[in-house]
Structure 1
Amino acid sequence: MPQSEGGYVSLPAMNGNGSAIYQSTTEPQAASPNSVFKSVRRAFGQAIKSSPGESEELVRMERPVVIVGGGTSIYFRDRDKTGKTLNTKMPSAPTHTAEEAHLLGTMPVDPMDDIELRSVQLQFPNARGSILEACEQRRMPTDKGDIHVAIQGDTSKPAIVTYHDLGLNYATSFAGFFNYPVMRGLLENFCVYHVTAPGQEEGAPTLPEDYVYPTMDELAAQLLFVLSHFGLKSVIGFGVGAGANILARFAHANPDKVGALCLINCVSTQSGWIEWGYQSFNARFLRTKGMTQGVIDYLMWHHFGRNPEERNHDLVQMYKQHFERGVNPTNLAMFINAYIHRNDLHLARTPPGTPGAETAATTLKMPVINITGSLSPHVEDTVTFNGRLDPTNSSWMKISDCAMVLEEQPAKLAEAFRLFLQGEGYAVGTLQKLARKMSAASRSSSTQIELCVQ
């Protein structure tokens, strides 16, 4: 390299050695002490294509150069433009290197501000615990013991009475559905009374050994105490599984107290041999061994059908944990035993007085919407139940890609329930306002057409 540009010269021999052997270590000339650093600075600048200021920042942050030659270590420290040695101690916490600054540009390295996270608001929380906070808890005395009733909404509004299925209670069965946004908007015009079977509520103590669990007909008769206590003259029934059977019994025995029914996976016949055998073993295991894996598998099949993990793994795990930890096995065994010993509802589509028909067989007189899931194991039972209803005031609906309709397809069920109530004249408020706007728009358009024709 030319001398004018800071070339290199051979170092003299070290430790008195007279030989002038050329050493591999070199030193810049005294006339240009910072020529080496200029060369390094240019090399870094070309490598990272950074500005001269960034290269200088990088060089200042490098460690002291150590040059070894002839068995002696020579340290060179950074010098300023006048040749004075600079303090080259490594900073304890550098903000960023020149290369990082070049890659990141002018992006600040301060911690990310959480202003966007603070602006996020959840308008309709779907947490299952929210229904517990929104409900008023009551214990109702009946002739067959106390039952738990949770009240959600304004008691001056029309009443909806719900009843749950096996292994569940009002919170685990209806919390997700009634916290769905469509249902929250619709229930501003109703008051919901969640009825729980004896001993099936969350954290219920074990029923006494001498306690005689009510039959299905007696469970239906307990609803009379609920209506009498709250002064309800007519209610809308909303039941699932075993709860749907109980509400159907109550509506059949008290047709003047039920204005409409929405029943999901309702069974209207007595239990068959296979169901009776499986459920008898389940009840025995629940009494003797507690919640076994076989009982959990049967309950999962009862609610979700086959292969539920392929549809919603998280939902299945949540219900398995509920069956393992949140259910009293002894109380559930009593409820299952009452369900498998149910009798037939004795419903018939044929009007009374028809030759060959049973004299006591009548069908439900109120409007009924009979719903099931396409993957549910109770599809055939709902078809049988639909064949016993009056086709003029009943409808059967099968919702695709689900078995537990309330959890897997809440939007479709909420829309069907809303239209059912609207058809029966129960839905008010926004639905009526929308209908009036549509009718007013149609009348105005027809008036304009008549004027144009004239």
Structure 2
Amino acid sequence: MGPGLFWNFPSKASCTASQSLLQTMLLSRMAGMKEQQFTEEKPLLPEPRGPDADMENCETMMPIGDWKEHDIETPYGMLHVVIRGAPKGNKPAILTYHDVGLNHKLCFNSFFHNEDMQEITRHFVVCHVDAPGQQIGAAQMPQGYQYPTMDQLAAMLPCVVQHFGFKSIVGIGVGAGAYILAKFALIFPDLVEGLVLLNIDPNGKGWIDWATGKLSGLTSALPDTVLPHLFSQEELMSNTELVQSYRQQINNTINQFNLQLFWNMYNSRRDLEMNRTGSMINAKTLKCPVMLVVGDNAPAEEGVVECNSKLDPTNTTFLKMADSGGLPQLTQPGKLSEAFKYFLQGMGYIAYVKDRRLSGGPVPSASMTRLARSRTASLNSGSSIEGSRVSRGFTHSDSNEAPVSHTMEVSC
């Protein structure tokens, strides 16, 4: 095993004690910083440029605007953040966190570059977070560096919130980023108003999966090990242009040593300790509105369904996107933008957003106005979802009446 490869599985009791200590320390740190103002911004860091065409493609995708880069100190090291705009009244900031094998540019550029999404973000400050060492041009971590655990990565985020003076956030996370944001919301629920979680897997890896992944990592190049986590089997087998492009960009624009550390830590994660209220004593779950998103036949489909069974059905929306592959924000950015618009409107924000389709623009074959909010009979919340045409029933043990089921149907 090469340097920097850690396969550390701490005990559950140790994790619980560490989490309590961590929360106390961070709350104390934030209380001491409460009166400070963070109005001075660091200068824009230069983007590394070179002859590599893939990096140039990634750079040119970034929308032109007042994006500024920051390196923020946290108890677990520096965190690279890119921000556009300033806090607007009591509105939350939109904060994103990318998946393993990606960074904020590779993960979110297509989504935030979409015309509908730009119309939405005009009303909010947007903050992209890169996991340590994953940003383009990041220096290689030193030999023997212990990468932050998933709990520690979540615990770095209050420093970002405090640094920019955010009152709260609406998080958008993909894969590992979705796990980190969910963990953050569980520890600091008052800082999170809503979550959009794509491809979240709330379960830790079992020993068989862990050993299989470790063996695969020893016999395959790192990008080829990560790709099955990001894309559906159909996409990988057809070797689409998107998959080829991302294989090259993962290899050429992300430091492979740093990526290996992040990949190892994600695969060492433990279960998100949350369960639907009433399912067990002192059950803990996400309190904010949540939209769960997954593409049809995506590798994370089972994990997202499992996560859905652990959340309050009255404030959870499940969106399964047809023909979107493993990364819906890349392949269906317009439809995801529309779903996000309705999600924000449901929270009481952006009562009106200009829709280019009202002025004669192209109308997708399936509109997000097909949002079904019907009272359903109580069904097994662990049942599968067939395609994007089956409404899902939920149980809620705290009420005698079946709760409102939120189902979004999207097809091409």
Classify the TM-score, shorter chain: 0.5 to 0.7
Match among 235, 242, 252 for residue 186 of structure 2: 252
More helix by share: 1
1:345: how far off?
A: 1.1
1:302: how far off?
A: 1.1
Equivalent AA in structure 1 for residue 246 of structure 2: Y
Match among 343, 360, 372 for residue 420 of structure 1: 343
Does structure 1 retain, via aligned residues, the 8 Å contact 2:222–2:260? Answer: no
> Unmatched 5+ residue regions in structure 1?
1-125, 286-291, 433-454
1:346: how far off?
A: 1.2
Equivalent AA in structure 2 for residue 216 of structure 1: M
Change (3 A) 1:293 1:280: closer
Equivalent AA in structure 2 for residue 374 of structure 1: D
Supply the distance in 2 between the matched residues of 1:133 and 1:276 (Cα, whole angstroms). 42
1:330: how far off?
A: 1.1
Does structure 2 retain, via aligned residues, the 8 Å contact 1:128–1:172? Answer: no
Instruction: Report the counterpart of residue 19 of structure 2 in structure 1.
Output: none
Instruction: Report the counterpart of residue 141 of structure 2 in structure 1.
Output: 207
Supply the distance in 1 between the matched residues of 2:213 and 2:118 (Cα, whole angstroms). 36
Does structure 2 retain, via aligned residues, the 8 Å contact 1:262–1:369? Answer: yes
Change (3 A) 1:323 1:413: same
Match among 259, 273, 280 for residue 207 of structure 2: 273
Instruction: Report the counterpart of residue 131 of structure 1 in structure 2.
Output: 62
**Number of residues paired by the alignment?**
296
1:148: how far off?
A: 0.3
Higher relative contact order (CA 8 A, sep 6+): 2
Match among 269, 280, 295 for residue 342 of structure 1: 269
Does structure 1 retain, via aligned residues, the 8 Å contact 2:93–2:126? Answer: yes
Supply the distance in 2 between the matched residues of 1:395 and 1:131 (Cα, whole angstroms). 29
> Unmatched 5+ residue regions in structure 2?
1-56, 356-412
Of 340-349 and 251-260, more deviation after overlay is shown by 340-349
Does structure 1 retain, via aligned residues, the 8 Å contact 2:228–2:236? Answer: no
Does structure 2 retain, via aligned residues, the 8 Å contact 1:279–1:337? Answer: no
Instruction: Report the counterpart of residue 369 of structure 1 in structure 2.
Output: 291
Equivalent AA in structure 1 for residue 252 of structure 2: R
1:430: how far off?
A: 3.4
* Displaced runs of 4 or more, over 6 A: none
TM-score (norm 1): 0.61
**1:376-416 alpha-carbon deviations (Å, 9 max, x no partner):** 01101001000000001001111011221011111211111
Does structure 1 retain, via aligned residues, the 8 Å contact 2:58–2:106? Answer: no
Pair 1:184-2:106 in alignment: no
Tell me, what secondary structure is at the counterpart of 2:71? strand
Aligned pairs for 1:31-430 within 5 A = 128-131=59-62, 134=65, 135-156=67-88, 158-281=92-215, 285=218, 293-308=220-235, 313-351=240-278, 357-359=280-282, 361-402=283-324, 403-430=326-353
CA RMSD of the aligned region, Å?
2.3
Supply the distance in 2 between the matched residues of 1:412 and 1:128 (Cα, whole angstroms). 24
Supply the distance in 2 between the matched residues of 1:275 and 1:194 (Cα, whole angstroms). 31
Change (3 A) 1:381 1:401: same
Supply the distance in 2 between the matched residues of 1:165 and 1:324 (Cα, whole angstroms). 15
Supply the distance in 2 between the matched residues of 1:282 and 1:334 (Cα, whole angstroms). 16
